[in-house]
Amino acid sequence: MRVLHILVADYANVAKEGKINVMGIFNRIFAHEFPTRQPEMHLVVKLDASPAEYDTVRKLTIKLLDETGKQEIVNWSRDIHIPIGSGAERAEINQILRLRDVVFPTPGTYQFSVIVDKDEKETLPITVALTGN
């Protein structure tokens, strides 16, 4: 299993045709004070799987960690069923995680980690900084 895309946005959804719609991609959050709260953001992850993984169940875990890696801000997981691909195309899995009221205790670089079973597949840094007044 591979991560094809990972991003954070103000909003995202999946259309009937399986297309991902995304608005407001970002990798920085500016705050006037800390701790700060992000009212809403969407983590978009697009995975693909090889024929050897078809019709299996894998555990997908998303973590948001502080820059030390010791504090978990978000820890979310679920089982995902890997569909059977069509022909030579690999199976694709879209996952959009809507995050509400996430609190960042301090400025710094935080990291989203995408883990399948117990194997980290991809990371995405996000910077949270104090804004200049």
What is the chain's length? 133
Distance CA(61)–CA(116), nearest Å, equals 6
pLDDT along the chain (133 residues), means of 10: 97 92 97 96 96 95 94 97 86 96 97 97 97 72
pTM score of the predicted model: 0.92
Q: CATH number of the domain that 27 lies in?
A: 2.60.40.10
pLDDT at 133: 57
* pLDDT for position 18: 86
Q: Domain range for residue 48?
A: 2-130
DSSP-derived secondary structure for 17-42: TSPEEEEEEESEEEESSSSEEEEEEE
Q: State how far the Cα of 124 lies from the Cα of 127, in Å rounded to an integer.
A: 10
How many structural domains is the chain composed of?
1
The strand pair at 2-14 and 20-26 is best described as antiparallel
